[in-house]
């Protein structure tokens, strides 16, 4: 992709408008529970400070839907940034208007200001041209470092980029694109995909696209139940998308036609319900009782999947293998995380649940790349063009 990096642009003494993804989880008191997204932005911020830019930091937080919601203010983010940088970080309680213009224009090289939640304005998510123009008025240079929102065509991700002449990707965005290109566009073969999560309907396009590129696809989570049912297996009381059975058959047919290995569970962990972990036990697929639900993959399936994982040169993982939030149904996901970590493949993990799973398994540092994108990662897997990236192309 013809996207410049921030290092390719002269930013000294210029007002640089940054779009970051500071959509951090907050507790009931408004304190930040996990500052990972802020930390991932630090290399770009520090680079810009060192180069003498005047930094304007923009982000969304939550879904205020165009209303000012104090509990979704970015003020705690500005305070946390100040701690991490050991430096004053200014904050303004809006992202457009005379006060914002005044603060931005008074910035000295190396100084930074965090703007208030851009989604407090309903125009943001509509990519309103007039609102985009107000944001662009603040900038000499536009840098997008928010891969997590790259699938959204909003004012702060697309509209402003079309109005500011000098534009490019931040260090994190560039890193994301390089690793995704490595995994999807020019992967070292063989490629193995691990796809989990609850529903086939969420990942139809992903599955159809990756079947064209991968040697083997390993299917877990609730979506495996639908494929197994489509294959004629009685799944008892398990979650099954009955309206997706024909689609599941079509996907399995494509896999067969393209000579791709499409691996489904051969044993599962079952229980009468999510909150009945004490009754959880392993059973073979095809022997599930009428009132039992499949809630995790079993040990034989882990071994079967591990054979493919260890053969892989590239591994792409999105979606857990079971309801890993519950202790009784987390082992399959934990075992797959450890298997991926133990492989010699280039491994990339994306999606909130998968990222949490590798962290819970204690193997995050053994994964080649952990993407910050959920929806953006999924759309990249589907082969879609990401608007926030396309807007940066020169």
4 is catalytic: no
Convert 290-324 to b/e letters by CB count within 10 Å (16 or more is b): eebbbbbbbeebbebbbebbeebebbbbbbbbbbb
298 is catalytic: no
* Phi, psi torsion values for 127, nearest 5 degrees: 50, 45
The residue annotated as part of the active site, out of 110, 277, 375, 383, is 375
Concatenated DSSP letters of 24-40: --B-TTS-BS--HHHHH
The residue annotated as part of the active site, out of 199, 304, 311, 366, is 199
Helices (H), ranges, the chain: 36-50, 75-85, 98-105, 129-136, 171-180, 204-210, 222-230, 245-257, 299-311, 331-342, 352-360, 375-381, 387-390
Q: Is the dihedral of CA 381, 384, 389, 394 positive or negative?
A: positive
Beta bridge partners of 16: 55, 141
Q: The tokens of 310 are what?
A: 């260890």
Are 121 and 347 in contact, with CB atoms under 8 Å apart?
Answer: no
The residue annotated as part of the active site, out of 37, 40, 134, 203, is 37
Are 93 and 68 in contact, with CB atoms under 8 Å apart?
Answer: no
352 is catalytic: yes
Are 319 and 353 in contact, with CB atoms under 8 Å apart?
Answer: yes
Distance, in Å, from the CA atom of 138 to the CA atom of 18, rounded to the nearest integer, reads 11
The residue annotated as part of the active site, out of 63, 352, 362, 384, is 352
Q: The tokens of 231 are what?
A: 């294959």
Question: Among 287, 185, 177, which residue's Cα sits nearest to residue 234?
Answer: 287
* Phi, psi torsion values for 86, nearest 5 degrees: 50, 50
Distance, in Å, from the CA atom of 115 to the CA atom of 160, rounded to the nearest integer, reads 15
| Residues assigned a catalytic role | 37, 199, 352, 375
């Amino acid at each position: 992709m013809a996207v410049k990096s921030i290092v390719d642009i002269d930013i000294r003494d210029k007002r640089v408008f940054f779009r970051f993804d500071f959509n951090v989880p907050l507790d009931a008191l408004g304190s930040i529970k996990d500052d990972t997204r802020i930390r991932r932005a630090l290399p770009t911020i520090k680079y810009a400070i060192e180069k003498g830019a005047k930094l304007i930091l923009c982000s969304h937080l939550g879904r205020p839907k165009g209303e000012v919601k104090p509990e979704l203010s970015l003020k705690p983010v500005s305070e946390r940034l100040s701690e991490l940088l050991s430096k004053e970080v200014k904050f303004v309680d809006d992202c457009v208007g005379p006060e914002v213009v005044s603060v931005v224009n008074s910035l000295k090289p190396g100084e930074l200001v965090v703007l208030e939640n851009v989604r407090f304005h309903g125009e943001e998510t509509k990519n309103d041209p007039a609102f985009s123009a107000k944001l662009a008025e603040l900038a000499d240079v536009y840098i997008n470092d928010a891969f997590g929102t790259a699938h959204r065509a909003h004012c702060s991700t697309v509209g402003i980029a079309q109005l500011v002449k000098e534009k490019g990707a931040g260090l994190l965005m560039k890193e994301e694109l390089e690793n995704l290109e490595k995994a999807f566009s020019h992967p070292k073969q063989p490629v193995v995909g691990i796809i989990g999560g609850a529903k086939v309907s969420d990942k139809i396009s992903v599955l159809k696209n990756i079947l064209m590129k991968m040697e083997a696809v390993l299917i877990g989570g609730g979506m495996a139940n639908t494929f197994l049912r489509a294959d004629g297996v009685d799944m008892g009381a398990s979650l099954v998308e009955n309206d997706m059975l024909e689609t599941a058959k079509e996907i399995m047919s494509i896999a067969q036609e393209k000579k791709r290995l499409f691996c489904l569970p051969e044993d599962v962990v079952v229980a009468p319900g999510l909150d009945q972990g004490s009754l959880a036990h392993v059973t073979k697929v095809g022997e599930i009782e009428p009132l039992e639900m499949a809630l995790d993959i079993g040990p034989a399936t882990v071994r079967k999947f591990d054979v493919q994982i260890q053969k892989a040169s590239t591994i792409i993982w999105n979606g857990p293998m079971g309801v890993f939030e519950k202790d009784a149904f987390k082992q399959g996901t934990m075992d797959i995380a450890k298997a991926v970590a133990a492989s010699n493949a280039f491994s990339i993990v994306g999606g909130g649940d998968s990222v949490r799973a590798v962290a819970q398994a204690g193997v995050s540092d053994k994964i080649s790349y952990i993407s910050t994108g959920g929806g953006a990662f999924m759309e990249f897997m589907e082969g879609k063009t990401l608007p926030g990236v396309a807007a940066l192309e020169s």
